[in-house]
A and B are shown apart, each in its own frame.
Chain A
Amino acid sequence: MSDCREGRRLIAGYQTGDLDADGLVKLEDHCRDCADCRSLLRAHDALLDLGDAAPLPADRDFARMRDGVMARLDRPAGTKGTGSLWTDLRAFLGAHPVAAAPAVVLALVAAVFFGRWTAAPGDPGDALMSELARQASLRQGVHEYLDNPLTYTNVSVRPRGDRLALSFDVQRHVDLEADLDSPLARDVLLATIVDGPGLGSRLRAMQLAPAIPDAGLREALAFILRNDPDVAVRLGALDALAHHADLPRIREALLHTLGADPSVQVRLQALEHLAGRQIDPDIIRSAITTQNLDGDAALLQRAVQLQRRES
C-alpha cells in the first residue's frame, strides 16, 4: 500500500469520482514525482479497462437466458434451467470424461456454423410482415410483448372504418391497415399504450382498446393504471378498463385505484365507474378508506349520493 498520505487521499477521491478540478491538478502534480502513486493510477486504469472488456453475449443469447429465467419462475425450487451450451456440455462431460476433447471441438464447430447461419440477412419485405404477423399471433400479454425481439417504435393507431390504421417502425417504417381483431393490431395497440411516443397517441390507443376483447391489452391497461405517473394517462386507462368492469380482475383493479391512487380525481372517476355495478356498499366504503388518504371523506359522501341515485 502507498506510504504517501497525500497521494492516497487524492487517489481515493479519484477512484470514487469525488475529486474536483483542483484535486485533479494536485493529483497530476503529485504523480509526476511519485512513482508509487503512478502505479496505483495504472492499476485503476487497468481495472476500468477490465470492466469494459467483458465479452458481452449477443442480444439473442441474453434473450435465451431470459426465456430460461421466465420459464423457471413458477417451477419448484431446485429445478434446473434450460441448458446453455455450457450446461449441456457439463452434464455430458460429467458422464463421459474421456470424450471431453472431441466434444469440445464438436461444440465449438457447431457454434461457429450456427452463428453464421443465423446471421444471414433475410428478405426484409414480405418475410418481415409474415414474421411480424406470426410473432404477434404468439403473444397474448404484456410479458410476451416485452419479450418481443422485433421492437415497435414510432407507434400510432387510428380507426379507419371497421379497421385500424397502424403506423410503426420495425427495422423500417410500416403503414398498413389491419382488422380490429388481428394479432398485429393488438400488438401495435399494446405497444402504443405502454410505450407510445406522446400523450395523445397513448390516449387514442386507450380509447380504441375496449373494441378489442383481449386479456393482454387489459393487463397492459391495469399496469398503466397502477403505475403511470401521468394522471391523464391513468384516467385514460381507467375509462378503457371500465368497459370490462364486470370482470373480477378489472373490478379488483378499479377498487384498488379507488383506494390507493394518489389523485382524488382518478379515485372519483373510479367510483363513478364502479357505481351501478351492484357492488356491496360496504366493499366500496372499505376500498375508499384502505389507506386513509386526504380525499376519503369527499369520496364517501359521493358514494352515498351515487348509492341513493341507484336505489
Chain B
Amino acid sequence: MQFNDEILVQETLAGSHAAYERLVARYEKLVFKVAWSYARHRDGALDVCQEVFVKAYRKLDSIRGGGSFKAWLMRIAHRESVNWLRGNRRYLEMTGLEEAADPACGPDQENALLADETRRGLLDRLGRLNPRQREALTMRYFDRAPVREIAEALGCSEGVARNILFRGLAKMRAEMTSSGRET
C-alpha cells in the first residue's frame, strides 16, 4: 500500500518513526544523487544523506501548512551538500578520495576511464553554475522532475523555472565548448 507524502508527514508529526522511515526510503536515492553530484564520493554522499534526513525531521513542522515534501527536501539536500563540501574540501584534497571512490563500471576499462573522465568534466561544469541553475538542472536531469516541482523548490513561477533550466543548459554547453571537450 502506498501512502502519499502528505499522510506520511502527518503521521511523522504525530510521532510515527515508521512513517518517517518510509519517507527516507522513498527519497534516499534522489538525495544521494544530489549529494554525490557535490561530494563525488560515495561515503561522503551517504553522510550528507543522513544529515539531510535528520535535519528535515527536525524541521518537519515548518511544512505543516502545505507544500511539497520532496521540493522542500531538495532544498535541504542542496544546502547540506554545499555545507559538507565546505567542511570537507581540505580532507578531500589531502586524501585524493574525491575521484577515486567510484569504481570503474564498464566491461572495457578504457571506455570506463573515458566515461569517468567525461563524468568528472560534467560535474566540474555543473559546479560552476549558479546555485539556482544547479538545483534546477539536478532536479530535472537526476530525477526527471516536472517544471512544476522545480518551480516549487526554487520558489518561483514555472516560467522563471523554465528560463533557469534553459540558461543552465546553455551555460553547460558554453563550458563544454570552451574547454574543447564537447561530449
Q: Is the CB of A142 within 8 A of B3?
A: no
Q: Is the CB of A86 within 8 A of B142?
A: no
A interface bracket (residues with beta carbon within 8 Å of B) = 35 or more
Q: Is the CB of A100 within 8 A of B32?
A: no
Q: Is the CB of A142 within 8 A of B32?
A: no
Q: Is the CB of A65 within 8 A of B176?
A: no
Q: Is the CB of B50 within 8 A of A47?
A: no
Residue among B18, B47, B182 making CB contact with A141, cutoff 8 Å: B18
Please judge, given known A-B contacts A69-B50, A227-B7, whether A50 and B166 are in contact too, CB under 8 Å: no
Q: Is B156 an interface residue (CB 8 A)?
A: no
Please judge, given known A-B contacts A69-B53, A104-B97, whether A57 and B141 are in contact too, CB under 8 Å: no
In the complex, chain B residues whose CB is within 8 Å of the CB of A1: 167, 170-171, 174
Q: Is the CB of A47 within 8 A of B141?
A: yes
Binary flags per residue of A26-45, CB closer than 8 Å to B gives 1, else 0: 00000000000001101110
In the complex, chain A residues whose CB is within 8 Å of the CB of B21: 66, 69-70, 143, 146-147
In the complex, chain A residues whose CB is within 8 Å of the CB of B140: 15-16
Binary flags per residue of A1-26, CB closer than 8 Å to B gives 1, else 0: 11000001001100111100000000
**A43-B176 Cα distance, complex, nearest whole Å:** 8
Residue among A47, A62, A145, A227 making CB contact with B172, cutoff 8 Å: A47
Please judge, given known A-B contacts A15-B169, A66-B28, A87-B47, whether A73 and B141 are in contact too, CB under 8 Å: no
Q: Is A226 an interface residue (CB 8 A)?
A: yes
Q: What DSSP secondary structure best describes chain B's contact surface?
A: helix
**A307-B176 Cα distance, complex, nearest whole Å:** 78
Q: Is the CB of A55 within 8 A of B102?
A: yes
Stretch in A77-85, A283-291, A292-300 touching the partner: A77-85
Q: Is the CB of A56 within 8 A of B32?
A: yes
A43 nearest in chain B by CB position: B173
Which residues between 55 and 103 of chain B lie within 8 Å of chain A, taking CB atoms?
57-58, 88, 91, 94-97, 102-103
Residue among B1, B57, B95 making CB contact with A73, cutoff 8 Å: B57
Please judge, given known A-B contacts A39-B182, A69-B50, A77-B58, whether A55 and B18 are in contact too, CB under 8 Å: no
**A11-B170 Cα distance, complex, nearest whole Å:** 10
B interface bracket (residues with beta carbon within 8 Å of A) = 35 or more
List chain A positions with a Cβ less than 8 A from chain B. Answer: 1-2, 8, 11-12, 15-18, 39-40, 42-44, 46-48, 50-51, 53-57, 61-62, 64-66, 68-70, 72-73, 77, 81, 84-87, 89-90, 93-94, 97, 100, 104, 141-143, 145-147, 194-195, 219, 223, 226-228
List chain B positions with a Cβ less than 8 A from chain A. Answer: 1, 3, 7, 11, 16-22, 24-25, 28-29, 32-33, 36-37, 41-44, 46-47, 49-51, 53-54, 57-58, 88, 91, 94-97, 102-103, 105, 115, 118-119, 122-123, 126, 137, 140-144, 146-147, 162, 165-167, 169-174, 176-177, 182-183
| Additional A-B contacts beyond A43-B176, A50-B142 (18; CB < 8 A) | A40-B169, A40-B170, A42-B182, A42-B183, A46-B172, A47-B172, A48-B141, A51-B144, A54-B33, A66-B25, A69-B50, A70-B20, A81-B51, A84-B50, A86-B46, A93-B94, A94-B91, A195-B1
